[in-house]
């Protein structure tokens, strides 16, 4: 009932996922033909011819209890297709709801598929249990027969033989798995998870000598198994089993997917290599431009130096003449300087002759006037000294006789500026 809102291909895909193994005939569901679907191959498998060459149309192919859908993009996407179903396997009976849906569709053939689903779902949801009972009882009877037939099919080994070829050599256990099997036998009371942990711990603690028996036995059996597998593949039994069960189609699709992935990887690597080459070329170009710029700078410097050398070469005679003239100039310069010096000296002597004469006359007169000024200053100094001594002795004599002391004599005038004392020093008064 929950699928009533779906229509067309969506409904078909939903039925495949939710009601797996519930279709018994190809005429059960017949929705309008949606684009993008192709017809299945024989017995419900999709071979390469059906995937690539069949016209686009809708289908629901039920081989036993499996419904298979194959959109056109399955092969291009590399999606795995279901393997063949064993023709001897019992077919699962239809559920009550699907039985009712088939009956409702048969009675309403003119109704569109979308309307059929909605109407059938609404009617089944509100249907009384008494009206559901016929569909339910038929299903239970068919289910009982199916269970018995499926049990007999499984017990016969056909189910296992369809899943795995009985003639295919069994791969031997590794050294660790052999040891783990012994640990499980020795500890049956321990849980499976705990047994695995215990086996892993004990295996890690084993010495190389203790592991050697397990490894040797595993190596011998592995060698035997490889030889048996080579014979099994060479005999063609593997290919026959895969073709019988439809696994060859899966292998083809896997191989196609692997080839596509390898091609994409190769393209990616080629793109990376090309990008690397472009990067190397770009760096080489940049380096070339830098080297060219350096060469241009060097060339410009060399040209500039060459120009300077040419200018120097052109100016060399002038410079040589200038140096020669400069060398001759110092020899002529002293003669001119000596002549100019003599003339200047004569001019100075003539200009200073009156001054020198006056100075000489003043020097001659100065020694005669100096003794007279010196004697005059000496007399004045002597008189002043005597007066000072008398003034000091007067009060002493008067005191001894009882008479009042005489008043002190007025100080003598200071000596004239420029006069000298008895000791010949400059005089400034007493």
Match 């073709």 to its residue by tokens.
Answer: 243
Cβ pair 117, 15 in contact under 8 A: no
pLDDT at 355: 78
pLDDT at 243: 84
pLDDT score of 345 more than 60: yes
The model's pLDDT over 141-190, given as tens digits with 9 standing for 90+, comes to 999 999 999 999 999 888 888 888 888 999 999 999 999 999 999 999 98
pLDDT at 50: 36
Lowest mean pLDDT among 32-41, 142-151, 156-165, 289-298: 32-41
Please report the sign of the dihedral spanned by the C-alpha atoms of residue 306, residue 310, residue 313, residue 318.
negative
Radius of gyration of the chain (CA): 70
Q: How confident is the model at residue 10 (pLDDT cuts 50, 70, 90)?
A: low
pLDDT at 386: 63
Beta carbons within 10 angstroms of residue 285's beta carbon: 10
The model's pLDDT over 363-374, given as tens digits with 9 standing for 90+, comes to 777 665 555 555
Average pLDDT, the chain: 74
C-alpha angle with apex 324: 319 to 325, nearest 5 degrees?
95
pTM greater than 0.85? no
pLDDT score of 57 more than 60: no
Please report the sign of the dihedral spanned by the C-alpha atoms of residue 405, residue 406, residue 407, residue 412.
negative
Lowest mean pLDDT among 95-104, 164-173, 283-292, 377-386: 377-386
| Helix, strand, coil percentages for the chain (3-state, nearest 5) | 70, 5, 25
Most confident of 31-40, 104-113, 175-184: 175-184
Phi, psi of 426 (to 5 degrees): -65, 130
Distance CA 254, CA 186 (A): 43
Beta carbons within 10 angstroms of residue 169's beta carbon: 15
Lowest mean pLDDT among 121-125, 168-172, 400-404: 400-404
- DSSP annotation of 219: H
Q: What is the mean pLDDT of residues 55-74?
A: 38
């Amino acid at each position: 009932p929950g699928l009533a809102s779906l229509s067309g291909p969506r409904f078909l895909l939903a039925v495949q996922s939710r009601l797996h193994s519930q279709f018994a005939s190809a005429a059960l569901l017949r929705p309008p033909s949606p684009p993008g679907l192709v017809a299945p191959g024989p017995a419900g498998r999709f071979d390469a011819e059906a995937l690539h060459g069949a016209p686009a149309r809708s289908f629901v192919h039920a081989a036993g209890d499996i419904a298979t859908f194959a959109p056109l993009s399955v092969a291009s996407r590399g999606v795995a297709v279901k393997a063949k179903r064993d023709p001897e396997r019992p077919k699962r009976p239809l559920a009550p709801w699907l039985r009712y849906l088939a009956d409702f569709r048969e009675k309403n053939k003119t109704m569109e598929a979308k309307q059929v689903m909605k109407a059938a779902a609404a009617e089944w949801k509100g249907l009384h249990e008494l009206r559901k009972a016929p569909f339910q009882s038929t299903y239970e009877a068919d289910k009982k027969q199916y269970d018995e037939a499926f049990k007999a099919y499984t017990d016969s080994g056909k189910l296992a033989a369809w899943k795995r070829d009985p003639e295919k050599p069994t791969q031997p256990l590794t050294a660790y798995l052999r040891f783990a099997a012994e640990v499980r036998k020795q500890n049956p009371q321990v849980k499976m998870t705990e047994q695995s942990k215990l086996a892993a711990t004990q295996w890690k603690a084993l010495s190389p000598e203790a592991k050697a028996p397990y490894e040797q036995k595993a190596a011998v059996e592995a060698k035997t198994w490889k030889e048996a597998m080579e014979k099994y593949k060479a005999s063609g039994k593997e290919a026959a089993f895969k073709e019988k069960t439809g696994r060859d189609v899966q292998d083809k699709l896997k191989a196609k997917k692997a080839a596509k992935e390898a091609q994409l990887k190769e393209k990616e690597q080629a793109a990376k290599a090309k990008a690397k080459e472009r990067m190397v070329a770009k760096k080489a170009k940049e380096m070339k431009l830098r080297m060219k710029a350096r060469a241009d700078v060097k060339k410009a410097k060399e040209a500039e130096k060459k120009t300077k050398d040419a200018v120097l070469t052109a100016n060399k005679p002038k410079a040589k003449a200038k140096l020669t003239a400069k060398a001759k100039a110092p020899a002529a310069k002293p003669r001119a300087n000596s002549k100019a010096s003599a003339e200047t000296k004569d001019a100075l002597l003539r200009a200073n002759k009156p001054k020198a004469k006056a100075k000489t006359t003043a020097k001659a007169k100065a020694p005669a006037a100096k003794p007279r000024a010196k004697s005059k200053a000496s007399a004045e100094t002597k008189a002043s000294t005597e007066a000072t001594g008398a003034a000091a002795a007067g009060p002493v004599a008067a005191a001894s006789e009882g008479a009042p002391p005489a008043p002190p004599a007025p100080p003598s005038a200071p000596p004239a500026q420029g006069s000298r004392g008895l000791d010949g020093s400059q005089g400034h008064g007493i």
